[in-house]
Amino acid sequence: MHHLKKFKTLYAALLLLAGVILFLYHFPPDQIVAFIGVENSYLATFLIASIGGLTSVFSGVFYAAVATFSSGGANPWLLGLAGGVGIAIGDSLIFALLYYGVQDIPERWKQRVETVRRRIDQYPAWMIYGGLLLILGFSPVPNDIVMFALVMLGFRYLKIAPILIVSGITITTITALLGQSLSAYFFG
Report if pTM > 0.85. no
| Residue 55 Rama label (left phi>0; alpha psi -120 to 50; beta) | beta
Say which range, 51-55, 82-86, 106-110, has the weakest mean pLDDT.
51-55
Query: Would you place residue 13 in the very low, low, confident or very high pLDDT band (cuts 50, 70, 90)?
Result: low
State the residue range of the domain holding 56: 2-187
Counting Cβ atoms within 10 Å, is residue 41 exposed (0-12), middle (13-18) or buried (19+)? buried
Total domains in the fold of the chain: 1
Query: Would you place residue 97 in the very low, low, confident or very high pLDDT band (cuts 50, 70, 90)?
Result: confident
Cβ atoms of 170 and 62 within 8 Å: the answer is no
Helices of type H across 27-106: 29-36, 38-52, 59-71, 76-101
pLDDT tens digits, one per residue of 37-55: 667 788 888 888 887 655 5
Cβ atoms of 179 and 67 within 8 Å: the answer is yes
Torsion on CA atoms 88, 182, 32, 86, rounded to nearest 10 = 0
Cβ atoms of 42 and 79 within 8 Å: the answer is yes
pLDDT tens digits, one per residue of 57-80: 667 778 888 888 888 888 999 999
